[in-house]
Amino acid sequence: MSISPSVLDLGAPPVPVPRVGLAILALAVGGFAIGTTEFASMSMLPLFAQGLGIDAPTAGHAISAYALGVVVGAPVITVLGARLPRRRLLLMLMAMFTVFNGLTGLAPSYHWMLLCRFLSGLPHGAYFGVAALVASSLVPANRRTRAVGQMFLGLTCATIVGVPLASWLGQAVGWRWSFALVALLGTATMCAVFAFAPDTPADANTSPLRELGALQRPQVWITLGIGAIGFGGMFAVYTYLADILLHVTHMSLDAVPWVMGVFGIGMTLGTMIIPVFADRALLRTAAGLLLWSMVILAIFPSTAGNVLALSAAVFLIGIGGALATVLQTRLMDVAGDAQGLAASLNHSAFNTANALGPFLGGLAISHGYGWTSPGWVGSGLALGGLLLCFISTAVETRSETVIVAGSC
């Protein structure tokens, strides 16, 4: 593993920024806006399907379109914006996010909605990547994962507050108004970032070519694979959770947002607690989370008939969402001096999972395996991510052995 000493020197002071807490809070507001649009769209699949005259698996393509936008936009925008000051780049990204989410609410047809969802996903990964770098620069190196986790709390809190609010709004006055809410949150983010985020210039040595150097590192690709496959399990279940609650648990539509909120509570607690362990052992923490998800997702189908048991399972699945924060820091470690691209690619990986999980879960449902079959699909995906964790550890151990042997 190659780590840039200038980045990880534990004695290096953080960037001198007054009101560090407010700066991280401003970044977290953007996470709240992004989390609201990403997860609320999943919870409102029945409303999309009804409003656009399509079935649930077809409506799920709107989720995949957004995820594809993240996958494409994260590397492209990060590389093209490598020389821009970070605050200016954050403001540009959130402006794109605000405009395209507003246009999604005005989409006149299913295909226009797909296009708008793709465009609104473009700034997602780059925003989180740049925000993670800014947050980690504000604190000592041995607290990086916790700082990134605090920034990610905006996303996880969105699953508690933003998603139920957007879902309620969609049920009360129409799903289009939920995107108006997201556009309003995007505007609030721009105001907060302008007011409190540090106005630091871009690294003078940064260039698109140097950022692309991250792609030459095997550990970057393995870590991306862990996120793309292992995190797909959570999305396989979450995407169809509303339909499972309606068709298997037999809950009313207006009760669905509350169970979605239970997921958010689990994810928020995981994001608050897990980074403490990750700052000591990143890869082992990631492996532990994937093992946790594999077991809980396998149990999930057996809980769907009882609302209390299902809610408990959903809470435990949410805890596994802390994997996003852990792998964010892992990518920054293994990317050397190409951290911008690596940090944003984390969200390309997770939105590959966001496309893969619903796609495979939808296949299982459409082939007659039942609404709860995404739980088994998700467990298999978590197992795949766990195997990649073992491969990453083996590659790292071998590299360290070669280095030691070469120095003898």
Q: Which segment, 41-45, 159-163, 205-209, is predicted with the most confidence on average?
A: 159-163
User: What are the tens digits of pLDDT across the range 3-54?
Assistant: 333 344 434 445 555 577 788 999 999 999 998 988 787 777 777 777 777 7
Task: pLDDT band for 165, please (50, 70, 90 cuts).
Answer: confident
Q: How many residues does this entry show for the chain?
A: 408
Percent of the chain past pLDDT 90, that is, above it, reads 27
Residue 5, domain member (yes or no): no
Residue 368, domain member (yes or no): yes
- Residue 142, domain extent: 17-407
Task: Give the model's pLDDT for residue 80.
Answer: 83
Residue 108, domain member (yes or no): yes
Give the distance, in angstroms, between the CA of residue 196 and the centroid of all CA atoms in the same chain: 23
User: What are the tens digits of pLDDT across the range 245-293?
Assistant: 888 988 877 777 788 788 889 988 988 888 888 877 888 999 999 999 9
Nearest residue to 63 (alpha-carbon basis) of 326, 239, 319:
239
Residue 10, domain member (yes or no): no
User: What are the tens digits of pLDDT across the range 67-121?
Assistant: 888 888 888 888 888 778 889 999 999 999 999 999 988 888 888 888 999 999 9
User: What are the tens digits of pLDDT across the range 287-329?
Assistant: 999 999 999 999 999 998 888 999 999 999 999 988 988 888 8
CA dist 87 and 344 (Å) reads 15
**Stretch 226-255: mean pLDDT, rounded?**
86
Nearest residue to 192 (alpha-carbon basis) of 70, 90, 123:
90
Tokens encoding 382: 């978590």
Task: pLDDT band for 337, please (50, 70, 90 cuts).
Answer: low
| Identity of the residue numbered 143 | R
CA dist 58 and 339 (Å) reads 37
Evaluate if residue 407 carries a pLDDT over 60: no
Residue 8, domain member (yes or no): no
Residue 7, domain member (yes or no): no
* Separation of first and last alpha carbons in the chain: 19
Residue 11, domain member (yes or no): no
Residue 277, domain member (yes or no): yes
Task: Give the model's pLDDT for residue 379.
Answer: 95
Task: Give the model's pLDDT for residue 101.
Answer: 93
346: domain CATH number is 1.20.1250.20
**How many structural domains comprise the chain?**
1
Task: pLDDT band for 203, please (50, 70, 90 cuts).
Answer: low
Task: Give the model's pLDDT for residue 263.
Answer: 87
**Stretch 167-175: mean pLDDT, rounded?**
82
Nearest residue to 386 (alpha-carbon basis) of 323, 312, 325:
323
pTM as predicted: 0.74
User: What are the tens digits of pLDDT across the range 354-406?
Assistant: 778 888 998 899 888 889 999 999 999 999 999 999 999 888 877 655 444 44
